[in-house]
Amino acid sequence: MTEWSDMKPGVYAGISNSAYHAGPGISKSGLDLIRKSPAHYQHSRTAERREPTPDQRLGTLAHALILEPESFWDCYAQPFVAPENALATTDDMKARLRELGEKISGSKGELTERLRAADPSAVFLDDARAEYAAEVGEQEIVTADEIAKVEAMRGAFFANESAGKLFAPGAGVAELSCYWVDEETGVLCRCRPDFWRFNGVIADLKTCRDASFDGFQKSIWDWRYHVQAAFYLDGIREAIRQGGFHGVEELPEPAHFVFGALEKVEPYASATYLAVPEMLEIGRREYRKDLRTYADCLSSDKWPGYGDKIQPISLPEWVLRREAYATEEQGVFIS
């Protein structure tokens, strides 16, 4: 069984982020949904994409500014600046109408139209904002607060010696798109490494709440970063072997995966962590299992949820271990 797709295996430059995410192939985020349940993955294919949370948007902006600073302002627009004396609220409009000797009762729309007629030179905040959005076109407008934060995050990140060297501009290539066909299952897979260094290291930027050793270790487990590291290293090697490079000079086969963890709150502390072999092996076992589940669902066109049979259930393992330990301690005390 082979998943149909026009995308050929290989490593590609020049594919936009939006085109990559809308394109073919199963990604690590797709495997995360498969692990939750195939039904969740299938739903995600047709569900309307939600607006990012402020935290998610901040992470996206930080990625763009740190990884591709030279093209940041091609994708984003400077903050909107309200014109002086722009009328924003009904109170603003009523005050101006009062100055002109006009009636001040009515809805905001009625006040707006009355003011337009009485004072054609009046400037309305909503109009100015809409005009600016039309002017910048597809560029996303950032706020002054957002750009101040991500610039501070970038400055703090590159002040960290190991992070600064790891993601140094000119030390690698950012945001290449990699595609390969998994030999066991026949499905098309994809990944998009943050930064592929010329020394064969894949560097991945993670914005987070806690970049400390213990805090990030928990994030690795919660967000399955160990799966990502194994999936990316194995997949990039396969993409090179199966299709080579397109639109970019050849890069060395990746040998290591390193995380750059950057906190999203002041003082924007950061750290770098190398994915060790035992972590990669566990991640590899997990993504192999997920790929087999995905392939089975593609073949049968059945996308089950959590199961349709009664399942025995108990408390989480850590609770059972705690209770077993407490019982053992109590026994020792009594004896």
pLDDT tens digits, residue range 130-182? 999 999 999 999 999 999 999 999 999 999 999 999 999 999 999 999 999 99
> What mean pLDDT is predicted for residues 58-82?
95
Summarised one tens digit per residue, pLDDT across range 292-314 is 999 999 999 999 999 899 999 99
Alpha carbons within 13 A on the beta-carbon side of 94: 8
H or E element in which residue 259 lies: strand 256-263
* Per-residue confidence (pLDDT) for residue 329, from 0 to 100: 67
Angle made by CA atoms 192, 206, 282, in degrees to the nearest 5: 75
Local structure of 177: helix, strand or coil: strand
* Per-residue confidence (pLDDT) for residue 46, from 0 to 100: 85
pLDDT(91) > 60:
yes
28-36 and 225-243 are packed helices; what angle lies between their axes, rounded to 10 degrees? 130
Whole-model pTM: value is 0.88
Q: Are 264 and 153 in contact (CB under 8 A)?
A: yes
Q: How many Å is the Cα radius of gyration of the chain?
A: 26
Beta partners for 202? 196, 257
Q: Are 205 and 59 in contact (CB under 8 A)?
A: no
Kindly state the DSSP code that residue 306 receives in the 8-state scheme. S
Q: Are 281 and 230 in contact (CB under 8 A)?
A: yes
pLDDT(321) > 60:
yes
pLDDT(206) > 70:
yes
Beta strands across the sheet bearing 188-191? 188-191, 177-181, 10-12, 245-246
What confidence tier does 260 reach under pLDDT thresholds 50, 70, 90? Answer: very high
Beta strands 76-77 and 140-141 are: parallel
Sign of the torsion angle spanned by Cα atoms 235, 237, 238, 242: positive
> Torsion angle, CA of 172/178/183/186, rounded to 10 degrees?
170
In 3D, which of 224, 225, 233, 229 has the Cα closest to residue 178?
Answer: 233
For residue 69, whether the previous peptide bond is cis, meaning omega lies within 30 degrees of 0, is: no
Indicate the average pLDDT of the chain: 93
Beta strands 245-246 and 10-12 are: parallel
Domains, the chain, ranges and CATH? 10-73+149-300 (3.90.320.10), 90-136 (no CATH)
Percentage above 90 pLDDT, the chain? 85
* Per-residue confidence (pLDDT) for residue 182, from 0 to 100: 97
SS (H, E, C) 120-166: CCCCEHHHHHHHHHHHHCCCEECCHHHHHHHHHHHHHHHHCHHHHHH
In terms of Cβ atoms closer than 10 Å to its own Cβ (0-12, 13-18, 19+), residue 327 is exposed
